[in-house]
Copies of this chain bind each other. A is one copy, B any other.
């Protein structure tokens, strides 16, 4: 008897296998029971025929409920037309008969499902989203390793904030005063870059933001990457290479999952094969005016602007050279127009909007000091960061991606709360 997973059924067609899992759904037509079984690796139909199994097996089958755990033995066969596999059951052992499962196959409201998140994760769509998320994570490590990056874990507990100070979670830190949960590891990565050349972090970041939109979470996963001797153009090249690698990996490894999600893969295939659009912020504003937006020339792009703009393109687009005043203090001014900075935001198509933000960093000590003064930043907490421009400063660039936003786009999920296992929002900290 071969132990197998559903994922490996394709290797065992015509053979008898045994495996364990859960009853995802079931129906019976008199003398035949059709069980939809999931085992974590995939889904398969198991057919129990009263005439083909010993009487105790048939009796056990009659007792099964949704989410009951079972061990099954049977012969694998392939669906004549689809990449689906079936099991003709010869043996079945019940591990536990599940109590009445609270999540039915009918529609539930989001609050109910979020309250039952620990169970909702078992739903086919939620299973598929987490599997795609897992591929995105792995593909990120693979690509960055290949490009010579090493992982440097930036701290979560920080004595000060990197960007906006109004949206920080604050806590008491022994006798050291207040500590804050990080919003970005970037400044720390810049320090480590001087040791390793190319570094990235990948961990949870926090925004105590009172926004209740489909694109906001208070806790989410961010990947920051920083590279020495790379300018803002090279920075976009790395981002485009990374995104193409990620999307290609999902298309290759998650065929079943994209099917479960009914994701139209055409836009994903296009993102792999076609160059990304690159336009300046000034050009974007012009296009937005044509599209009916009243955005001012020196405004940041709002979520609505991003949505209508990205609906015009079938690939991700870089918006370069935003006005300096809407971006962070550490971004290098455009030598051709000092009111703008050498940055880029990458917007996903199909209306998804920003997934990556990046820029070339200021490498000159005096300029960085001036910029901090302009931004009214206190000097003392940033002395260590200024040090990096004293001891062998080099041109360098970096970017940060939001894992949930990328997962939302690739899986075609409208609300990013479904793309993280246990979402945290302003009104939700459970389960």
Residues of A within 8 A of B (CB): 5, 20-23, 39-41, 67-69, 95-96, 98-99, 101, 117-119, 121-122, 126-127, 130-131, 133-134, 137-138, 141, 145, 148, 150-159, 169-176, 179, 181, 188, 191-198, 203-204, 206, 208, 210, 218-219, 221, 228-229, 384-385, 387-388, 390-394, 420-422, 424, 426-431
What's the minimum C-beta distance from A52 to chain B, rounded to whole angstroms? 25
CA distance A195 to B151 in the complex (A): 29
CA distance A173 to B426 in the complex (A): 8
Contact A155/B424 with A150-B130, A150-B134, A171-B171 known, Cβ cut-off 8 Å: yes
Q: Given A118-B388, A188-B421, 11 other A-B contacts at CB below 8 A?
A: A95-B392, A98-B391, A121-B194, A130-B192, A138-B151, A153-B204, A153-B421, A154-B421, A156-B204, A157-B429, A384-B430
8 shortest A-B CB distances, which residue pairs? A40-B197, A69-B392, A384-B431, A118-B191, A134-B150, A67-B391, A98-B391, A67-B392
Closest Cβ neighbor of A5 among chain B residues: B148
Contact A392/B68 with A156-B219, A195-B40 known, Cβ cut-off 8 Å: yes
CA distance A179 to B152 in the complex (A): 27
Find chain B residues with CB under 8 A from A173 CB.
Answer: 429
CA distance A391 to B99 in the complex (A): 6
What's the minimum C-beta distance from A112 to chain B, rounded to whole angstroms? 14
> Are the CB atoms of A152 and B174 closer together than 8 Å?
no
What's the minimum C-beta distance from A119 to chain B, rounded to whole angstroms? 6
> Are the CB atoms of B154 and A156 closer together than 8 Å?
no
Find chain B residues with CB under 8 A from A206 CB.
Answer: 156-157
- Residue in B151, B153, B170, B431 whose beta carbon sits within 8 Å of that of A171 in the complex: B170
**For A67, A153, A197, A387, which residue has the most chain B Cβ atoms within 10 angstroms?**
A153
> Are the CB atoms of B195 and A130 closer together than 8 Å?
yes
Closest Cβ neighbor of A200 among chain B residues: B134
What's the minimum C-beta distance from A56 to chain B, rounded to whole angstroms? 20
Find chain B residues with CB under 8 A from A229 CB.
Answer: 20
What's the minimum C-beta distance from A133 to chain B, rounded to whole angstroms? 8
What's the minimum C-beta distance from A332 to chain B, rounded to whole angstroms? 15
> How many copies, total?
2
> Are the CB atoms of A154 and B422 closer together than 8 Å?
yes
Closest Cβ neighbor of A189 among chain B residues: B421
**For A121, A148, A228, which residue has the most chain B Cβ atoms within 10 angstroms?**
A121
What's the minimum C-beta distance from A401 to chain B, rounded to whole angstroms? 15
> Are the CB atoms of A429 and B159 closer together than 8 Å?
yes
CA distance A387 to B100 in the complex (A): 11
What's the minimum C-beta distance from A191 to chain B, rounded to whole angstroms? 4
What's the minimum C-beta distance from A64 to chain B, rounded to whole angstroms? 10
List, sorted by A's number, 20 A–B pairs whose CB atoms are closer than 8 Å. Answer: A5-B197, A20-B394, A22-B392, A96-B393, A98-B391, A99-B390, A118-B385, A121-B191, A130-B150, A130-B192, A131-B150, A134-B151, A138-B151, A155-B421, A156-B156, A157-B169, A170-B171, A174-B210, A175-B427, A176-B429
Closest Cβ neighbor of A101 among chain B residues: B391
> Are the CB atoms of B141 and A138 closer together than 8 Å?
yes
What's the minimum C-beta distance from A425 to chain B, rounded to whole angstroms? 9
Closest Cβ neighbor of A120 among chain B residues: B195
> Are the CB atoms of A153 and B392 closer together than 8 Å?
no
Find chain B residues with CB under 8 A from A41 CB.
Answer: 148, 197
CA distance A431 to B160 in the complex (A): 9
- Residue in B95, B119, B130, B155 whose beta carbon sits within 8 Å of that of A219 in the complex: B155
Find chain B residues with CB under 8 A from A208 CB.
Answer: 174
CA distance A41 to B429 in the complex (A): 42
What's the minimum C-beta distance from A287 to chain B, rounded to whole angstroms? 36
Closest Cβ neighbor of A135 among chain B residues: B150
CA distance A228 to B40 in the complex (A): 9
Find chain B residues with CB under 8 A from A151 CB.
Answer: 133-134, 137-138
What's the minimum C-beta distance from A172 to chain B, rounded to whole angstroms? 8
CA distance A57 to B255 in the complex (A): 57
Closest Cβ neighbor of A169 among chain B residues: B171
